[in-house]
């Protein structure tokens, strides 16, 4: 009788514990939302807030016209997904690390540069390895300066446009890179060779994460790559099989294979780096949902773009050319009705919808919202 009573009590404790755990998972862990003091972003033009513009030729008008009212270093008429993520976390927009004028790094820095890839060759010299090296130098020099000021008695308070050293391990580290590796491969090799290159790409990405982990990074938010076969420039220049939404099927299949292997790599990193928290974010599904439901969402044909031209003559957004008496390059009058801004990059209107799809965690593994990315269900 006594043994039965003990067993009953133990079962009761287990059940109550399970109920409590499930309840904690329902409300984001019962630990309240995470407070990330900063974001450090690594990527390409999908999240570049001024790196390429600072390093090379400045991005010109009409880029930025919808939100900023002037060019703001973004290949977009307004804000990018990373901007909406910053807003959601109540942080300022990220300054580009390469921008020497007016930059504020107190709440993070953006190492993303348009055209960047995980490995070289690519469309930019600022590959992921360079971006990680830039971060490590940034962290080292910031910490050294902080110690110098501290020694002189100037802190606290520490008034600067640089982060506090203790903020680095508390920050969110975001990745949005890999699209250009695939695109460059499509342009210069075969699809078979692109597929074969994926394991090496992800090994390099894994090494980058290990380096950040060794620097104290613990919270990682990793975007997969989008549906490359749905970009207007892909549709224009490729005449392969189309899927039900009109996208180039073979390109999307390779993007999905990249994403499948990326998800597996993130799972491996969870085992290798036990003190880190990884959120794998299915941006592919978010973007494809917007493209495949363009009409219902109030957009024009998703393969029409607002600025620049790819029809027989490539003209960058902000430039014009006359070909056989026809003027190409004039921007559209209503960017908010377009999913694609310039044939490669998304409009602010599309970026807003994509961001709304991903910040709530419904497309993430594990399914936690971004404000809960510091305490996953497995740690509750």
Catalytic positions: 45, 342, 345
Judge contact between 359 and 84, C-beta under 8 A: yes
Estimate the crossing angle of helix 249-272 against helix 191-214, to 10 degrees.
30
CB 39: neighbour CB atoms within 10 A?
Answer: 23
φ/ψ of 378, rounded to 5, equals -70, -15
Give CA–CA dist 229/231, Å, rounded. Answer: 6
Judge contact between 30 and 380, C-beta under 8 A: yes
Give CA–CA dist 68/120, Å, rounded. Answer: 33
Contacts for 134 with CB less than 8 Å, ≥ 6 apart: 97, 111
Structure tokens at 295: 């009409």
Torsion on CA atoms 348, 163, 127, 229, rounded to nearest 10: -20
What's 179's DSSP letter? Answer: H
Give CA–CA dist 377/228, Å, rounded. Answer: 32
**Sign of the C-alpha dihedral, residues 369, 345, 196, 257?**
positive
Judge contact between 112 and 44, C-beta under 8 A: yes
Structure tokens at 333: 């009058």
Structure tokens at 230: 């749905």
* 305 closest CA partner among 321, 289, 294: 294
Structure tokens at 152: 């002189």
Contacts for 103 with CB less than 8 Å, ≥ 6 apart: 95, 96, 97, 109, 161
Is 165 in a helix, a strand, or coil?
helix
């Amino acid at each position: 009788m006594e043994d039965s009573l003990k067993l009953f009590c133990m079962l009761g404790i287990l059940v109550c514990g399970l109920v409590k755990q499930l309840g904690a998972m329902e409300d984001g862990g019962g630990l309240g939302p995470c407070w990330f003091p900063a974001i450090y972003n690594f990527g390409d033009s999908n999240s570049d807030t001024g790196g390429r513009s600072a390093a090379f030729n400045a991005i010109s008008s009409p880029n930025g016209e919808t939100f900023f009212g002037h060019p703001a270093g973004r290949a977009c008429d307004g804000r990018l997904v990373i901007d909406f993520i910053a807003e959601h976390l109540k942080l300022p927009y990220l300054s580009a690390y390469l921008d020497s004028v007016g930059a504020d790094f107190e709440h993070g820095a953006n190492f993303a540069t348009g055209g960047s890839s995980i490995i070289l060759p690519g469309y930019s010299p600022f590959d992921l390895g360079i971006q990680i090296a830039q971060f490590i130098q940034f962290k080292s020099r910031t910490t050294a300066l902080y110690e110098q000021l501290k020694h002189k008695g100037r802190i606290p308070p520490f008034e600067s446009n640089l982060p506090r050293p203790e903020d680095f391990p508390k920050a969110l580290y975001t990745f949005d890179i890999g699209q250009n590796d695939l695109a460059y491969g499509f342009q210069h090799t075969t699809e078979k060779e692109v597929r074969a290159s994926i394991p090496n790409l992800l090994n390099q990405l894994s090494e980058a994460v290990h380096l950040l982990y060794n620097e104290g990074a613990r919270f990682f938010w990793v975007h997969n790559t989008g549906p490359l076969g749905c970009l207007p420039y892909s549709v224009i220049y490729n005449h392969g099989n189309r899927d039900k939404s009109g996208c180039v099927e073979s390109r999307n299949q390779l993007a999905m294979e990249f994403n499948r292997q990326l998800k597996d790599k993130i799972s491996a990193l969870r085992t290798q780096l036990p003190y880190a928290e990884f959120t794998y974010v299915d941006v592919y599904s978010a973007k494809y949902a917007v493209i495949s439901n363009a009409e219902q969402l109030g957009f024009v044909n998703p393969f029409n773009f607002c600025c620049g031209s790819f029809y027989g003559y490539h003209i960058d957004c902000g430039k014009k050319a006359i070909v056989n008496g026809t003027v190409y390059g004039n921007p559209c009058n209503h960017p908010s009705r377009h999913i694609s801004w310039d044939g490669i990059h998304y409009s602010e209107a599309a970026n807003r919808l994509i961001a709304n799809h991903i910040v709530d965690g419904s497309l993430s593994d594990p399914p936690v919202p971004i404000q809960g990315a510091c305490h996953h269900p497995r740690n509750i």
